[in-house]
Amino acid sequence: MAKPVRVGIVGCGTVGTGVAQILLTKAEEIKKKTGVKPVLSKIATRDWNKKRFFKVPESLRTTDWREVVQNSDIVVELIGGIDTAKEVVETALKMGKPVVTANKHLLAEFGYEIAKLARENDTAILFEGAVGGGIPLVKVLKETLCSNEVGEIQGILNGTTNYILTKMEKGNLSFKKALLQAQEKGYAESDPTFDIEGIDAAHKIAILAMLAFGGKVDFSQVFVEGITHINVLDIKLGMEMGYKLKLLAIAKKRNNGEVEIRVHPTFIPLSNPLSHVDGVFNGILFKSDYLGQLKLQGAGAGAYPTATAVVQDIIQLAVGLSRCGKVCDITPLGWANHQLKIAKDFYSRYYLRLEVKDKPGVLYKIAQILASKDISIAGVLQQEWILKFLSSHLEVVPLIILTHKAYESKIKAAVEEIEKLPFVESKPVLIRVEEEKY
Amino acid sequence: MAKPVRVGIVGCGTVGTGVAQILLTKAEEIKKKTGVKPVLSKIATRDWNKKRFFKVPESLRTTDWREVVQNSDIVVELIGGIDTAKEVVETALKMGKPVVTANKHLLAEFGYEIAKLARENDTAILFEGAVGGGIPLVKVLKETLCSNEVGEIQGILNGTTNYILTKMEKGNLSFKKALLQAQEKGYAESDPTFDIEGIDAAHKIAILAMLAFGGKVDFSQVFVEGITHINVLDIKLGMEMGYKLKLLAIAKKRNNGEVEIRVHPTFIPLSNPLSHVDGVFNGILFKSDYLGQLKLQGAGAGAYPTATAVVQDIIQLAVGLSRCGKVCDITPLGWANHQLKIAKDFYSRYYLRLEVKDKPGVLYKIAQILASKDISIAGVLQQEWILKFLSSHLEVVPLIILTHKAYESKIKAAVEEIEKLPFVESKPVLIRVEEEKY
């Protein structure tokens, strides 16, 4: 029978601990299913005194990651961040050892170089756990959709912000209160910047875009807007119009070969299957030429779901190593040797909420500015009940404008002009609307 | 560079034609992504005069399936049914050639034997296209959930019946009218028996149960009930109570090691993510120990989605053959050498609709029968508007009873007694309710 495959883990945080637990408790089960037994050979972390939800046997512990790399057939990097993580991954790959990682930050910034290094050393880097926790998004893109041309990806890729938006919508909470609840529940970190500013979701969509469109992404060109400015009023107004507000990550191929990669709060119609993905769950929608729409939904974070994804990759590598003596994976990221051209501007419908003084000529002046930027108005909304939300100063009237499709650059320029009008009382709220029918 | 891998197809119906088209038009793209080029070497069908949506080059056509098997590295069986299909698959496997099939009927009845034959000949049988069209359910079960214990699978696995139920619900149509529309749209065949009687869904859930629980399924023991007796009134009443009616395929592991495998119309709460899967779409929910809930949704049938799934399998085999000279797949179906013990009875909540004469003592008598079978009543519903649906004979009163959890055998026995009561005017309608919170 096949020799066991030695798996070494660098990093024993929540995901590392979860992977260790699954490997130690399920190895026989995995062997029964695959014929191959992945054996945890060593696990490194700096501080073994920290409390963990699973006790790693003393004999497997080390504080030296080089010892792990040296004594493993497969190296699992789970320390996160860039510096040491990058060194671990590069050291293993240069030794021809395949690597599994869940490090989205590292991949979003250096994924292409790392994949290149893996190819040059005839080995592989797998990273299902980096995007969407336990949901097999990377596998679907690499394997299921390999023969398809992916036109668009829409994803709710950050559980923290989805939890906050769901709490705001269903509990009528302010952003700050919903964030506090997320922190109390352990869904948000004490410094939630990466989540609430959209950066975490942007890392993930950048990785998926590299896979889907086959090229390197300059992460600094990804458009990112978080949810810190979202008011519960806008969520309620959206629902009134049949929309749910989600922090949507979008990667879209244009006819001219450019790609849009962007993360921002977005109104989506209830007919969009992602509108039902609430709470900490993640969801993703792939649109491709032959398969059409494929949607996946599940636990986008957490120790065990992410560990399941990491173990999926370990098993795939272990089966290849054991049966053929080499990795047998569809090479990721290196699908093309070019840089993706990221569109500088994009095209969307917009929701614009203004607070204006109630006097003649207001709408006329605003409409004039929009028209001067080629932005056409699809609808104007002004309802009694909105006033109740803004009871502090009733001489100010809320005005909601829905536009037809327009360029982001033009609506931004229009908003800048509108903001300067003397009767506009506060900073206009601008939210993109993904209107497409499903 | 790697040699091209020769792919031979047996069967040129809609899926076969789709696979041929994808291979002929996307081979270069696949090579760019994977380094391996799958080349269509030959395709067999009995009648080349039939009109097809894609023209297969004359040089690739044959009417002799043995010629295809002889001249291919990978054999794709897409003729369907049992007889010839089984011969094709067995012939190829005995020659050590890996096989891709989308034949759910063959796998549900002989999957275990075929997988055994593949193992004995050190090759593989892959069948993503057999279940859920383009949705990678088999891949998720075999690979993503390999380290997890799957506790339950719930699926909407038949697009035809889902289309019919959606039409009944949203268009207020009778079953017969909705079926006619499905046939006009090409979603139902002229003989729709396999779909509307639940047999197609049962084939699929049997295959998934084999994968999830690692054993052989005696298909004759699978509980199957179709949708032909469903009345639009029950769909509406369900919605009134917060339920959607779906033809649900369920595979569930019990604490005693037995498994339930069943297909029947089922009321599911709106909090169940499958309640949003409407029209011809398929959806599936996996519940497992580490990953928790994972839901997939997409095109469950159709030439291109199913062809995408078939090509996914072809690519996986081609990469293994090209890189390692052998298949590199996680052996399916052969995960255990035992027969799954299928539970004879199961446990569910029930919706019972009766038409009774409006006179004293009716509910008392019915409650007495239910109590005698240990079935406890959770609620009784009787509303004005129901009467409008049954305006033909107003002296008859509809009575809806929701039960707590009870054994199927006991509720069936109770219904048999209730049906015989002199004041019960028509055959009672019994629908299972999957109540679990999500």
Beta bridge mates, A98: none
What is the sign, positive or negative, of the torsion defined by CA atoms of A316, A319, A322, A326?
negative
Contact of A320 with chain B, judged by CB distance below 8 Å, is answered with yes
Q: What is the largest CA-CA distance in chain A?
A: 85
Whole-number Å distance between alpha carbons of A399 and A421 = 14
At residue A392, the pLDDT reads 53
Q: How far is it, in rounded angstroms, from Cα A13 to Cα A437?
A: 42
Q: Which of A137, A95, A145, A56 is nearest to A312 (CA)?
A: A137
Residues facing B377 on adjacent strands: B403
Chain A contacts of B26, Cβ < 8 Å?
147
Instruction: Note the pLDDT of residue A397.
Output: 79
Assess whether B357 carries a catalytic annotation. Answer: no
CA A268 vs. chain centroid, Å, equals: 17
How far away is chain A from the Cα of B305, in angstroms, using its nearest Cα? 4
Low-confidence ranges of chain A (pLDDT < 50): 1
Domains annotated on chain A, with CATH = 5-134+302-324 (3.40.50.720), 138-297 (3.30.360.10), 347-433 (3.30.70.260)
Are A335 and A145 a contacting pair, CB within 8 Å? no
A-chain CB neighbours of B135 within 8 Å are 294
* Closest CB to B292 among A30, A298, A330: A298
- For residues B372 and B365, the answer to whether their CB atoms sit within 8 Å is no
Which residue of A lies nearest to B36 if distances are taken between CA atoms? A330
Query: What residues of chain B lie within 8 A of the CB of A30, using their CB?
Result: 146-147
Partner residue facing B146 (CB), from A30, A135, A305: A30
Q: How far is CA A170 from CA A179, A235, A430, in A?
A: 14, 10, 22
Q: Does A24 touch chain B if contact means CB atoms closer than 8 Å?
A: no
Distance to chain A for B360, nearest Cα, Å? 45
Q: What is the dihedral of CA A189, A191, A193, A199, to 10 degrees?
A: -50
| Angular region, A401: left φ>0, alpha ψ -120 to 50, beta rest | beta
For residues B196 and B160, what is the distance between their CA atoms, to the nearest angstrom? Answer: 8
Contact B290 A22 (CB under 8 A): yes
Q: Which of residues 288-307 of B touch A (CB under 8 A)?
A: 288, 290-299, 302, 304-305, 307
Instruction: Give the span between the Cα atoms of B326 and B96, in whole angstroms.
Output: 10
Cβ pair A290:B307 closer than 8 A: yes
d(CA B262, CA A256): 50
Query: Distance, in angstroms, between B8 CA and closest chain A CA?
Result: 17
Strand ranges in B51-204 using DSSP code E only, listed in sequence order: 61-62, 74-77, 99-101, 125-126, 150-156
The phi and psi torsions of B167 (rounded to 5 degrees) equal -60, -45
CA-to-CA dists, residue B431 to A31, A81, A309, B156, B238, angstroms: 41, 53, 37, 16, 10
What is the distance between the alpha carbons of residues A176 and A193, in angstroms, rounded to a whole number? 13
Q: Which of B37, B42, B104, B204 is catalytic?
A: B204
Contacts of A304 in chain B (CB under 8 A): 290-292
Q: What six digits make up the tokens of B68?
A: 């295809």
Q: What is the DSSP letter of B216?
A: B
Nearest CB to A291: which of B34, B134, B273? B134
**CB contact residues (below 8 A), chain B span 129-158, against chain A:** 134-136, 139-140, 143-149
Q: What is the pLDDT of residue B360?
A: 81
Q: Supply the pLDDT for residue A336.
A: 60
Query: How far apart are the C-alpha atoms of A253 and A212, rounded to whole Å?
Result: 10
Number of Cβ within 10 Å of residue A57's Cβ equals 10
Low-confidence ranges of chain B (pLDDT < 50): 1
CA distance, residue A238 to nearest chain B CA (Å): 20
DSSP A205-216: HHHHHHHHHTSB
The residues near B313 (Cβ < 8 Å, ≥ 6 apart) are B100, B126, B127, B128, B129
Closest residue in B to A312 (Cα) is B144
When CB atoms are compared, the residue of B30, B135, B335 closest to A294 is B135
CB contact under 8 A, B296 and A293: no
Burial class (CB in 10 A: 0-12, 13-18, 19+), B298: buried
Which of A150, A290, A310, A338 is the best substitution to test chain B (most B C-beta atoms within 10 A)?
Answer: A290
- CB contact at 8 A, A62 and A44: yes
Distances (CA, A) of B54 to A149, A269, B24, B373: 19, 36, 10, 60
Whether the CB-CB separation of A79 and A9 falls below 8 Å is answered with: no
A contacts of B123 (beta carbons < 8 Å): none
- Report CB contact under 8 Å: A312, B144: yes
pLDDT, tens only, B59-84: 999 999 999 999 999 999 999 999 99
Q: Measured between CB atoms, does B328 come within 8 Å of chain A?
A: yes
Rg (CA), chain A: 24
CB atoms closer than 10 angstroms to residue A240:
13
Q: Where are the beta strands (DSSP E) in B87-149?
A: 99-101, 125-126
Under 8 Å CB-to-CB from A75, ≥6 apart: which residues? A8, A10, A68, A69, A88, A89, A92, A97, A98, A99, A100
Quickly list H helices, B172-231. Answer: 175-184, 193-196, 199-213
Task: Answer yes or no: are the C-beta atoms of A401 and A352 closer than 8 Å.
Answer: yes
Alpha carbon A317 to its chain's center: 25
Least Cα separation, residue A35 to chain B (angstroms) = 8
Going by C-alpha positions, the residue among A13, A147, A290, A28 that lies closest to residue B147 is A28
Angle, helix A362-372 to helix A408-420, in steps of 10 degrees: 150
Residues of A in contact with B271 (CB under 8 A): none
Residue A185 has φ and ψ, to the nearest 5°, of -85, -5
For residue A215, what is the nearest residue in chain B, using CA coordinates? B33
Locate the chain A residue with the closest alpha carbon to B147: A30
Instruction: Dihedral sign for Cα B238, B244, B245, B251, please.
Output: negative
- Residues from chain B contacting residue A326 (CB–CB below 8 Å): 323-324
Whether A298 sits inside 8 A of B293 (CB atoms) is yes
How far is residue B164 from each of residues A176, B196, B248, measured CA to CA in Å? 46, 9, 14
Interface residue of B15, B25, B144 to substitute, partner A, most A CBs within 10 Å: B144
Which of chain B's residues have a Cβ under 8 Å away from the Cβ of A141?
none
Give me A344's structure tokens.
Answer: 């500088």
pTM for the model? 0.93
DSSP 3-state assignment of B163?
A: helix
Instruction: Determine phi and psi for B285, rounding to 5 degrees.
Output: -125, 120
> From B26, which residue of chain A is nearest by alpha-carbon distance?
A147
Q: How close, in Å, is residue A222 to chain B by CA atoms?
A: 24
Q: Locate the chain B residue with the closest alpha carbon to A288.
A: B305
| Polymer length in residues for chain B | 438
* Sign, CA torsion B137/B143/B145/B146: positive
- What single-letter amino acid sits at B50? K
Indicate yes or no: CB of A33 within 8 angstroms of CB of B326.
no
Nearest CB partner across the interface for B324, out of A295, A328, A335: A328
Cβ-based contacts under 8 A for chains A and B: 182
Nearest to B290 among A30, A292, A304 (CB): A304
Residues of chain B positioned with their CB less than 8 A from the CB of A329:
319
Q: Which residues does chain A have within 8 Å of residue B34's beta carbon, measured at their own beta carbons?
A: 146, 330-331
Residue B59 CB contacts under 8 Å (≥ 6 apart), including other chains: none
Q: How far is CA A66 from CA A62, A75, A84, A101, in A?
A: 10, 10, 11, 16
pLDDT at A335: 57
What is the distance, to the nearest Å, from the Cα of residue B390 to the centroid of all Cα atoms in its chain? 34
Residue B2, Cβ density class (10 Å: 0-12 exposed, 13-18 middle, ≥19 buried):
middle
Q: What is the DSSP letter of B211?
A: H
Residue with tokens 């244009």: A254
Query: How far is residue A423's CA from residue A321's CA, in Å, rounded to a whole number?
Result: 70
